[in-house]
Amino acid sequence: MKHIGERIRARRLELGLSQGRLAQMAEVTASAISQIESGAIRSLKNDTLSRLALALQTTALELVAGLQNEATPLPGDEQRLLECYRSLEPPLKDIALRLIKALQ
């Protein structure tokens, strides 16, 4: 049975991300990514797990247990919005979220 680090590594490689880029996207250190993938760290805080799942374009459930969620695909405009958000650097993500909340 694969541990969470193995699933994270596999997904990172599927997406063509380096450990450093994933760390940047998930707002953790590259050292943490390395330790998670090697199995030195086997449990994650919920917020860290959520950020990793978002950066890896998957779910926390998939990362933790290897279970895939059969979700319906997002409509095109929502998918484009998500792709744009994911391409932003962390400070700009915060600004984007505040803007969207202000529009509600």
Q: What confidence tens digit (pLDDT) does each residue in 32-89 have?
A: 999 999 999 988 999 999 999 999 998 888 888 876 554 556 677 887 888 888 888 8
pLDDT at 16 over 80: yes
pLDDT at 29 over 70: yes
What is the pLDDT, as a whole number, of residue 24?
95
What is the pLDDT, as a whole number, of residue 81?
84
Query: Of residues 103 and 73, which shows the higher confidence score?
Result: 103
Q: Is residue 33 within 8 Å of 23, Cβ to Cβ?
A: yes
Half-sphere exposure (Cβ direction) of 25: Cα atoms closer than 13 Å: 22
On whether the pTM is more than 0.75, the answer is no
Give the separation between CA 31 and CA 46, rounded to whole angstroms. Answer: 19
Q: Which residues of the chain does CATH 1.10.260.40 include?
A: 4-65
Give the separation between CA 46 and CA 34, rounded to whole angstroms. Answer: 18
Q: Please tell me the CATH code under which domain 4-65 is placed.
A: 1.10.260.40
What is the pLDDT, as a whole number, of residue 49?
93
If you average pLDDT over residues 10-20, what whole number do you get? 93
Would the CA dihedral through 86, 92, 98, 104 be positive or negative?
Answer: negative
